[in-house]
Amino acid sequence: MTLSYDISVEEESRFTRLAAVAGIAIGAVLILVIGIYLIATANPSKPGKTVIRWVVDPNPIRKEQIKLFEKRHPDIEVINDPGADAQRLLTQLAGDVPPDVMALYDPQTIRLFAKNDVLLDLGPYVRKYKIPVDKLYPALEPYIKYRGKIVGIPENCGPYVVFYNKRLFREAGVPYPKPGWTWDECLAAAKKLTKYQIVRGRKIPVQKGLFISDGDWWFFIWMYGGRLFSKDGKRCLMDSEAVKKGIRFWADLRLKYHVMPTSSEAQSMAPTGAWGSSALLFRESKVAMTVSGRWLCIQYREQKDLDWDVVSVPHGPIRFTLLASKSYSIPKTCRHKEAAITFIKHLLSKENQLLVANYGDGIPSLQDPEISKAFLYNPQYPNERNNKLHLDEMKYARVQEFSPYINNLDVSAIMSVELDKMWLRQQTPDQACEAIAKRINAIIRRNLANPNFLN
């Protein structure tokens, strides 16, 4: 008897899609395997050496770090693989081609990997090899632990600060800001540091007092004691009065007091053909102050005529700053666990901590008096005499909030869309906050109703 199957168009389409997805997944793994092979063959190892692959960003300092490590451990060779995005790492792990050490750039990504049981519990190795995790700054705990287990070790970190142009302050007759200053004091200074010129009857900005990136909303969510999420992560609190008050102040900086450039103003103030980023506008003395982490000093050092310094981020009723870092983890399926552990331990050594810190990529993550003392002054950069501020700000540093019930990408996308409407005056700050809370809470409720979501 012959069996006949009547597959509907919908089913056929579904089968086609499944086949396509499977093909893409297989193709992705093959591409990764080929890519890893090419990285390895481009760096042929010497016989008798253990070769480990370090997946991290392609920062030029990585070569110096590898050189320092291999000098101290000649039996281990480190290959830098610059493909450190989370999706690529997950594909490598699924394809059974794991790296040996990998960089994870935020607590939610660390949680995602740990929840899927792909990270090695570093606790036994920390105890065995006396890795000084207990000396790391307490604020870094979300980068270190998941459900009590040590799953990552942050090599360095960076509390956000205000970079300010000392020459522009002097020319405007504005005193240099002091640590612990307030947002009201910052606004008063920014008004005096904002300048215009008249071109064909139009008032054109030539200098703005302050630049804060549109994605750095944390300062204003937390300004009056607000939070993005409830402590259990089951509710977005953007519609609370504390958050609304902070977002209103942020909006006023640009839309009422005009001390921050709009996106079009930033573009027009930038050099011809360049993108109006905060770093570029600060380097070109188009903005007097900008908020970011210590990594920007790498760029500012190149501008020899730029006279700059740093001060704490202004505060409202509560003093805090945002903390950025990354953590190094080892996959459970790592082929060279002992060598990988040796490398991670080295990353917390005094030599490596100071190598990275002196380069300008954040501050040492270890609370070690000897390292801190050496960090305070680097004779290569005699103008940078205020490094102590970065260490002092760690007392006020906070890691950005996240909820296990919504992906950070969804949160960022919603925030971007609704805040853009605010910047374009299509809705008020209060309306933006309410819209954000409504949209995020709808996703959280949907995910909470799905019993398999957390898995």
pLDDT in tens, 23-39: 444 444 444 444 444 44
The whole-angstrom separation of Cα 341 and Cα 45 is 20
The whole-angstrom separation of Cα 178 and Cα 189 is 12
φ and ψ of 136, to 5 deg: -75, 150
Max mean pLDDT range (6-10, 91-95, 173-177, 352-356): 173-177
Asked whether residue 370 carries a pLDDT value surpassing 50, the answer given is yes
Per-residue pLDDT, averaged over 337-365, amounts to 94
> Looking at 79-88, 281-290, 355-364, which range is the least confident one?
79-88
156-159 sheet: strands from edge to edge: 363-364, 156-159, 321-325, 397-399
> Looking at 34-38, 75-79, 182-186, 305-309, which range is the least confident one?
34-38
pLDDT of residue 431: 99
Per-residue pLDDT, averaged over 267-281, amounts to 73
The whole-angstrom separation of Cα 338 and Cα 100 is 10
More confident residue, 30 or 283: 283
pLDDT of residue 202: 87
The whole-angstrom separation of Cα 406 and Cα 440 is 8
Q: What is the three-state SS of the chain? A: CCCCCCCCHHHHHHHHHHHHHHHHHHHHHHHHHHHHHHHHHHCCCCCCCEEEEEECCCCCHHHHHHHHHHHHCCCEEEEEECCCCHHHHHHHHHCCCCCCEEEECCHHHHHHHHHCCCECCCHHHHHHCCCCHHHECHHHHHHHEECCEECCECCEEEECEEEEEHHHHHHHCCCCCCCCCEHHHHHHHHHHCCEEEEECCEEEEEEECCECCCCCCHHHHCCCCCCCECCCCCCECCCCHHHHHHHHHHHHHHHCCCCCCCHHHHHHHCCCCCCCCHHHHHHCCCECEEEECHHHHHHHCCCCCCCEEEEECCECCCCCEEEEECEEECECCCCCHHHHHHHHHHHCCHHHHHHHHHHCCCEECECCHHHHHHHHCCCCCCCCCCCHHHHHHHHHEEECCCCCCCCHHHHHHHHHHHHHHHHCCCCCHHHHHHHHHHHHHHHHHHHHCCCCCCC
Is residue 122 within 8 Å of residue 153, measured between CB atoms?
yes
Averaged confidence pLDDT in the chain: 88
314 token code pair: 């202004």
Per-residue pLDDT, averaged over 412-421, amounts to 97
What percent of the chain stands above pLDDT 70?
88
Query: Topology of 159-322+401-448 in CATH?
Result: D-Maltodextrin-Binding Protein; domain 2 (3.40.190)
pLDDT of residue 6: 35
> Looking at 7-11, 53-57, 243-247, 302-306, which range is the least confident one?
7-11
Burial degree of 397 (CB within 10 A; 0-12, 13-18, 19+): buried
Single-letter code of the amino acid located at 212: I
Residue 239: partners with Cβ closer than 8 Å, 6 or more residues away:
433, 434, 436, 437, 438
Per-residue pLDDT, averaged over 53-64, amounts to 92
49-158+324-398 matches 159-322+401-448 in fold: yes
pLDDT of residue 47: 64
Single-letter code of the amino acid located at 286: K
- C-alpha distances in Å from residue 387, one per residue of 78, 199, 378: 31, 41, 9
pLDDT band at 203 (very low <50, low <70, confident <90, very high): confident
Per-residue pLDDT, averaged over 64-76, amounts to 97
Max mean pLDDT range (104-118, 195-209, 378-392, 424-438): 424-438
Asked whether residue 14 carries a pLDDT value surpassing 50, the answer given is no
pLDDT band at 455 (very low <50, low <70, confident <90, very high): low
Per-residue pLDDT, averaged over 94-119, amounts to 92
What percent of the chain stands above pLDDT 90?
72
For domain 49-158+324-398, the CATH superfamily is Periplasmic binding protein-like II (3.40.190.10)
Domain coordinates in residue numbering, the chain:
49-158+324-398, 159-322+401-448
Strand pairing report for 397-399 and 161-165: unpaired
pLDDT of residue 142: 95
pLDDT of residue 200: 84
